[in-house]
Amino acid sequence: MTRIRKAIFPVAGLGTRFLPATKAMPKEMLTVVDRPLIQHVVDEARQAGIEHFIFVTGRNKNVIEDHFDRQFELEMTLDERGKRNELSALENDLPGAGNTSFTRQQSPLGLGHAVWCARELVGREPFALLLPDVLVQHPRGCLAQMIDAANEIGDKANIIAVEEVPHDRVSSYGVVGVGEAKGKAFAITKMVEKPKPADAPSNLIITGRYILQPEVFDILEKQERGAGGEIQLTDAMLQLMAKQKFYGLKFDGRSFDCGSKIGFLSANVAYALERPDIAPEFRDEIRKLLG
């Protein structure tokens, strides 16, 4: 049984694709319906049984820490006004006291570096990594499916969520090579970060959810800069592949790349259409807009 207790959330990115919205506000606080992106991703991790939530932050990101704290004045006001539903929603959204940690990345050196910054907080145990740009819409979320796969595989496995994209889009992502099937997952034979379509081993891209063994920290410690001049997690995973197994899981559910405007807007529509309290009216509004 693989027990994954800790999850890393790299939230130091600058959010340049959403300027001016993200000039003073972290991109992770942009809302999909009425929850910030980071809350959706933390919800997914909680649903998968994660107990400790590690945020790798940067300057101008303090509001994320505030978001995962109680808001005493607000709670008191809601209580005085008898707003029970709002109050319990606020309380249920929070990981418990002592279950969050925040550390700073200090310099924007890439995803691999962000993950390495969490090494002391994770320690020597397998952990989950969730990129908050990516939302996966599925009743169980993506990480729970990955933990199921990890339990099925059994040995010291690294698992990466993957999905198919059109061939001409692979150069925006990490891409994996496909080996033999193992239950619902498959062995990964190769990994390339942001390849040209001609060099891509497949059209299966890395989706932003990982279960990794702590040995990846030892590799990241010495990792040189790769694609885009950044310390790439994909390069470190590739090295670890020489010693440990990596599996890909094509998860159930629909993913949204909320780092892009189209993905973010689509996520808002898709999540709103799943909400019983607003979906009927929203559907009518969309019909009107589309004429």
Q: Which of residues 246-265 bind ligand G1P (CB under 6 A)?
A: 259
Distance in Å, CB of 220 to ligand G1P, minimum: 13
Alpha helices (H) in 52-208, listed in sequence order: 62-67, 72-80, 84-92, 111-116, 119-122, 143-153
- Which CB atom, from 83 or from 169, has the smaller least distance to ligand G1P? 169
- Min dist. Cβ of residue 232 to ligand G1P (A): 6
Residue from 9, 53, 55, 173 binding ligand G1P (CB under 6 A): 173
Preceding amide of 26 cis, omega within 30: no
Among 141, 208, 226, 248, binds ligand G1P (CB under 6 A): 208
Q: Please, what is the minimum distance in Å from the beta carbon of residue 145 to ligand G1P? A: 17
Q: Which is nearer to ligand G1P, 22 or 234 (CB)?
A: 234
Q: Each residue of 5-22: b (16+ CB within 10 Å) or e? A: ebbbbbbbbebeebeeeb
Is 205 a binding residue for ligand G1P by CB under 6 A? The answer is yes
Whole-Å CA distances, 18 to 22, 190, 262, 263, 287: 6, 32, 11, 12, 27
Nearer to ligand G1P, 78 or 219 (CB): 219
Residue 254's CB is within 10 A of a number of other CB atoms, namely 13
Residue 234 binding ligand G1P, by CB under 6 A: yes
Tokens of 209: 């959810």
- Rule CB under 6 A: which of 99-128 touch ligand G1P? 111
| Residue 132 half-sphere exposure toward CB, CA atoms < 13 A | 31
Residue at shortest CB range from ligand G1P:
174
CA-nearest of 49, 37, 48, 47 to 9 is 37
Q: Which is nearer to ligand G1P, 37 or 111 (CB)?
A: 111
Q: Shortest gap between Cβ of 1 and ligand G1P (angstroms)?
A: 28
* Nearest alpha carbon to residue 42 among 132, 140, 104, 111: 132
Which residues of this protein are in contact with ligand G1P, per CB under 6 A? 111, 131, 133-134, 173-174, 193, 205-208, 233-234, 259
